[in-house]
Amino acid sequence: MNEAGFRTVESSQVILKELMVPSYANFGGKVHGGVILSLMDKIAYTCAATHAKGYCVTASVDSVDFVNPVEVGELLTLYASVNYVGKSSMEVGIKVVSEDFKNGIVKHTNTSYFTMVALDEETRKPVAVPGLILESEEEIRRFVMGKLRKKLRRAHQQEIADIRQALSVGQEMAELKGENCQLARG
Ligand SMILES: CC(C)(COP(=O)(O)OP(=O)(O)OC[C@H]1O[C@@H](n2cnc3c(N)ncnc32)[C@H](O)[C@@H]1OP(=O)(O)O)[C@@H](O)C(=O)NCCC(=O)NCCS
């Protein structure tokens, strides 16, 4: 058994609501993606630190695909939940939706996964986090998917590192053919 104990998923779930004010807009009048990313990082920290009952850092963020733009005046709601825990890491799943008050339409903005790692505040080394008590089929499904994503993340990082190591610019010149680039003369 994990010496840090076990906690339910529900005990660290967080909901964050924020009104999209005009100062959040980009030049096109929509909300900056960076504003949403910052809120996602904030809720990921809150959720992970609540589960770990201590200091955490963001180790990685999976791809963030904005499927719908967010308008100024809409209410953004972020839902965060710990999907999976390893020894010191936690995968926090975050769902973001935006609501237009005038017509009540709710749009899905994006879903993403943050990996947060619990650290000892003095040594700054990773520390064990409590395990998860899984109370429903949905929580079991999320845990299994989180475990799979962790494995895929590691494999992907290793693959990129191997490709980079083996890369020879001379051999890659052929890859430039047909790409949107040109070699500077001189
Ligand atoms: C994240 C960090 C603590 C990992 O440290 P490390 O010495 O590599 O730790 P370990 O190799 O022992 O890994 C610890 C855990 O983190 C996970 N981890 C490490 N790097 C990771 C990454 N890039 N993505 C996802 N998980 C990662 C490991 O899988 C491991 O999980 P587990 O304990 O549940 O099995 C370290 O890289 C760090 O401090 N990074 C900076 C984080 C930060 O400052 N974030 C804010 C940016 S402004």
Q: Model confidence over 75-96: pLDDT tens digits? A: 999 999 999 999 999 999 999 9
The CATH number of residue 116's host domain is 3.10.129.10
User: Is the CB of 59 within 6 Å of ligand 1?
Assistant: yes
- Residue 83 confidence (pLDDT): 98
- Residue 82 confidence (pLDDT): 98
pLDDT at 3 over 60: yes
- Structural domain including 50 reads 6-167
* Three-state SS sequence of 19-69: ECCHHHECCCCEECHHHHHHHHHHHHHHHHHHHHCCCEEEEEECCCCCCCC
For residues 124, 60, 116, 13, the Cα torsion angle rounded to the nearest 10 degrees is 160
The H or E element containing residue 98 is strand 89-99
3-state SS assignment for residue 156: helix
Give distance in angstroms: CA of 20 to centre of ligand 1: 32
Average pLDDT rounded to a whole number, residues 134-147: 98
User: How many Å apart are CA 159 and CA 107, to the nearest integer?
Assistant: 35
- Residue 56 confidence (pLDDT): 98
User: Is the CB of 60 within 6 Å of ligand 1?
Assistant: yes
Q: Model confidence over 19-48: pLDDT tens digits? A: 999 999 999 999 999 999 999 999 999 999
Note whether residue 132 is domain-resident: yes
Average of per-residue pLDDT values in the chain: 94
- Residue 1 confidence (pLDDT): 45
User: Is the CB of 17 within 6 Å of ligand 1?
Assistant: no
User: How many Å apart are CA 152 and CA 125, to the nearest integer?
Assistant: 24
User: Is the CB of 149 within 6 Å of ligand 1?
Assistant: no
- Residue 186 confidence (pLDDT): 60
* Residue with CA closest to ligand 1 atom 31: 89
Note whether residue 183 is domain-resident: no
Give distance in angstroms: CA of 59 to centre of ligand 1: 5
Note whether residue 84 is domain-resident: yes
Is this prediction's pTM over 0.95? Answer: no
Note whether residue 177 is domain-resident: no
Average pLDDT rounded to a whole number, residues 123-138: 97
- Residue 176 confidence (pLDDT): 87
* Distance, C-alpha 31 to centroid of its chain: 19
Average pLDDT rounded to a whole number, residues 125-136: 97
| DSSP bridge pairs for 75 | 19, 99
Structural domains in the chain (count)? 1
Give distance in angstroms: CA of 51 to centre of ligand 1: 17
Note whether residue 180 is domain-resident: no
Atom of ligand 1 nearest to the CA of 59: 1
Note whether residue 49 is domain-resident: yes
User: Is the CB of 128 within 6 Å of ligand 1?
Assistant: no
- Residue 177 confidence (pLDDT): 87
| DSSP bridge pairs for 89 | 117
